[in-house]
A and B are shown apart, each in its own frame.
Chain A
Amino acid sequence: LAKTTQPISMDSYEGQEVNITCSHNNIATNDYITWYQQFPSQGPRFIIQGYKTKVTNEVASLFIPADRKSSTLSLPRVSLSDTAVYYCLVGVLNSGGYQKVTFGTGTKLQVIP
């Protein structure tokens, strides 16, 4: 799977919009981009997944430029409960063949009151 690079940590005040960028220079044509959120001692929680352009759901938006070599997770108006580690993953998650998901070290987001 394509290697991903994210900032190790970020701080944000409550109510602000947070953008976390992930670099994935060697993304393959069939790869999707997925973001997970993880709280301490819990399993990762799926946030959003996309292939190109922009995807939005009830909790986040995912922006993917035309070259797909990076992606940005946008969290609108964060609250203290958004303090967590955010992982960016790139790969074909279900192709009918071998499936593997490789996590990097993630971005630790700290929301400040």
Chain B
Amino acid sequence: ETGVTQSPTHLIKTRGQQVTLRCSSQSGHNTVSWYQQALGQGPQFIFQYYREEENGRGNFPPRFSGLQFPNYSSELNVNALELDDSALYLCASSFRDTQETQYFGPGTRLLVL
């Protein structure tokens, strides 16, 4: 167990709706990254948050946004859902100031109908 938790575990939405996914970091970690993993593919980096600010972004449109809170937990928000947004959404926490790697949560499975 990594100590990274995510909620909900599963979610079903319809096209055009908005969704919020949540992540609680491992104790002592100050950085959170979010990934999207389509079926049969490797995880794709969405963005990273450090000290409540976005600190790098992958090739995802602005309708993917996030927040990091003072306790280092995080949210991923996706607006105007599209069918292709159906995927496993993973968050990973780490401690930015060391060479320690990232530790992943179990993911949230999102299905867009």
Contact = CB atoms under 8 A, between A and B. Distances in A.
Interface of A: 32, 34, 36, 41-46, 49, 87, 93-94, 96, 98-106
Contacts of A32: 99
Interface residues of B, number: 32
Contacts of A43: 2, 4, 90, 92, 104-107
B95 A94 contact: yes
Interface of B: 2, 4, 31, 33, 35, 41-45, 48, 55-56, 58, 88, 90, 92, 94-107, 109
B101 A46 contact: yes
B100 A94 contact: yes
Instruction: Please provide the 4 A-B residue pairs with the shortest distance between their CB atoms, ordered closest to farther.
Output: A43-B104, A103-B42, A98-B56, A103-B43
B104 A45 contact: yes
A48 B56 CA distance: 25
B107 A94 contact: no
A81 B20 CA distance: 33
A34 B107 CA distance: 20
Contacts of B103: 46
Nearest to A102: B45
B94 A44 contact: no
A46 B44 CA distance: 17
A93 B94 contact: yes
Nearest to A87: B42
